[in-house]
């Protein structure tokens, strides 16, 4: 099941936003705890389903990257 161009663009934008949020938090002293970090992720994605889909996407990218080094 391939993703449409708009879905890929939306994921790329979310990843960019996530990286910006993490960088802002680093500069501000970091998240207070894990719950605050998870809440920031949930706020960024807007729904558990989108967050879970993004998590699957990141895991897939990681597996593909690891496979490149095994080959």
Rounded to whole angstroms, how far apart are CA atoms 67 and 71? 6
Cβ atoms < 10 Å from Cβ of 44: 15
Q: What is the mean pLDDT of residues 9-32?
A: 83
At residue 63 the predicted structure's pLDDT band, cuts being 50, 70 and 90, is very high
Please work out, in degrees rounded to the nearest 5, the angle formed at the alpha carbon of residue 15 by the alpha carbons of 2 and 40. 125
Q: Name the percent of the chain lying above pLDDT 70.
A: 97
Please tell me the predicted confidence (pLDDT) of residue 4. 86
Closest by Cα among 29, 5, 4, 31 to 18: 31
Model confidence pLDDT, tens digit, residues 36-54? 888 888 888 888 888 888 8
pLDDT, position 1: 55
- How confident is the model at residue 31, as a pLDDT? 78
């Amino acid at each position: 099941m391939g993703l449409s161009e708009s879905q890929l663009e939306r994921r790329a934008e979310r990843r960019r936003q996530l990286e910006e949020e993490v960088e802002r938090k680093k500069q501000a002293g970091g998240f207070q705890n894990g719950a605050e970090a998870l809440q920031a992720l949930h706020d960024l994605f807007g729904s558990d389903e989108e967050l879970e889909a993004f998590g699957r996407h990141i895991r897939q990218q990681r597996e593909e990257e690891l496979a490149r080094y095994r080959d």
